[in-house]
A and B are shown apart, each in its own frame.
Chain A
């Protein structure tokens, strides 16, 4: 259970997040869409304090903090209760796939090495990269790197996995394998908050789609409703533009 109330984030005076309220149930899959620069990524980054929010309340499982008073311990706690998948994968370049996945278990959760590696191997199996356990990131394709990135997030056993445009840096040929893995996680009812421009993923997988613009949530609802009968003109406008280009891309794939 995750709850955000009145979340505000300003960058040099400009409110990038302008009072976000959001509740996420366990096992819920939420996709956030919207034009670029409207604070989607910032919202994700505020949930684990990669950006420090300026106001608001944050509840993640047992953690319940007023963000302006968050202590160092609260911040670590928030980070341990969430997991993050980065647009550019952000794998540890000095560690193998196996070590990338096991790192948090060893360092943060203080698991013995052997146990952590056994768990990492299970995860590699699930993400279809068992044969790449000892490969370093530099030797992996973009798609493989992002799957390891997701594997690293899975290992954290967080309350929620935050996906920040996980396929945006990928060559088109690798997008499907990453989306496939995310669908697999969704079927296992892993709680997910996904920022993406992949509208077909939103339509097929999300329980709820959120449309953001100007640092606010403009409209939200189940994908059927939001995509076929958007209420707000801004949503309609955005969808018209995006779907037009995306249909072209999809049919050329």
Chain B
């Protein structure tokens, strides 16, 4: 066994740091859009809005039922052949689109379950004091559904951050793409990939720390 080249790994850190913002940006934008889309899908499912409900089910079924990599290739390589206006689509946009749709399908189901899980009698209580449906959702149901949904949503966010690494298959030089290039130049594959692995690991651990704090705050009302 050869010794590890620690100097090379240390030298890699500042290079990779330059690509970190792009990775985080794709994850953050993807998560924000996915949340909005997932909430819309969830509300459609909860209220069983006629046509939209069927459309949501199909959407969720497709994006849960096919691999993310296949979806990314469809968006980046496939769709532009059918729809001319998409020929300008770049890898970053395609990645964000793919992440958004893929993860919103999963998130919609956990948000729906969280909404449905809020005790029905509290809904009646809110209506009985004269709240409108909007007030009921905003003040009573969503705050409680959030608490239930946060742990799973954070899990999806963590998953999404790691999934941004697939962007390199669309030619995007983000954290993974940059590592790949560095490794190909130096032939120090182990050093390069273990370094980028630690990068992802640290990001996820920071998020998990934040998640624990958030959950503690959200659970305050339920301590006996």
Contact = CB atoms under 8 A, between A and B. Distances in A.
B139 interface: yes
A83 interface: yes
A191 B140 CA distance: 28
Given A84-B125, A95-B221, A107 B135 contact: yes
Give the interface centre of B125, B128, B144 by most chain A CB atoms within 10 Å. B128
B129 A103 contact: yes
Interface residues of B, number: 23
Contacts of B119: 90, 93
A94 interface: yes
B130 A104 contact: yes
A157 B60 CA distance: 47
A82 B127 CA distance: 11
B131 interface: yes
Contact of B122 (A84, A90, A108, A138): A90
Given A94-B143, A107-B135, A86 B222 contact: no
Contacts of B124: 50, 84, 86, 90
B128 A83 contact: yes
The interface size bin for chain A is: 20 to 34
Interface string B96-139: 00000000000000000000000101101111111110010001
Interface string A42-65: 000000101000000000000000
A8 interface: no
B128 A93 contact: no
Give the interface centre of A91, A93, A139 by most chain B CB atoms within 10 Å. A93
Interface string A224-239: 0000000000000000
A205 interface: no
B2 interface: no
Interface of A: 48, 50, 76, 79-80, 82-84, 86, 88, 90-96, 103-104, 107-108, 136-139, 152, 156
